[in-house]
């Protein structure tokens, strides 16, 4: 309980610190963090793959999880297209 509270608090503090620094430095020259962000994303994807690959139970359940994810994906896609068509007719966009 205590560990999860500290973990959540550290995330909120990091978010608020980023917001405050962005607010106070908003009039200065902007720095392009694109390459840095891309590197961080690659590192996160690698660590996710590493943790999945090192967990035998999770690795064995991947076919079942993949099938569930595919079914969810197809339903989300179908209902998104259907909803867009309904809204287009209601709003009369064409």
Nearest of 66, 8, 87, 45 to residue 16 by alpha carbon: 8
Domain range list for the chain = 1-29
Residue-wise pLDDT for 30-50, tens only, equals 778 889 999 999 999 999 999
b/e code 70-80 from CB counts within 10 Å (16+ = b): eeeeeeeeeee
Q: Cα–Cα distance between 30 and 90 in angstroms, integer? A: 42
Note the helical H segments in 1-94.
Answer: 2-24, 34-53, 56-60, 62-91
Those residues with Cβ within 8 angstroms of residue 88's Cβ, 6 or more apart along the chain or in another chain:
94
Residue-wise pLDDT for 7-23, tens only, equals 899 999 999 999 999 88
């Amino acid at each position: 309980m205590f560990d999860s509270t500290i973990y959540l608090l550290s995330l909120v503090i990091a978010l608020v610190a980023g917001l405050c620094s962005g607010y106070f430095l908003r009039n200065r020259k902007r720095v392009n963090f694109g390459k840095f962000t891309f590197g961080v994303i690659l590192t996160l994807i690698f660590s996710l793959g590493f943790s999945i690959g090192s967990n035998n139970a999770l690795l064995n359940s991947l076919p079942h999880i993949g099938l569930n994810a595919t079914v969810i994906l197809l339903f989300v896609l179908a209902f998104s297209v259907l909803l867009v068509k309904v809204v287009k007719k209601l709003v009369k966009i064409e």
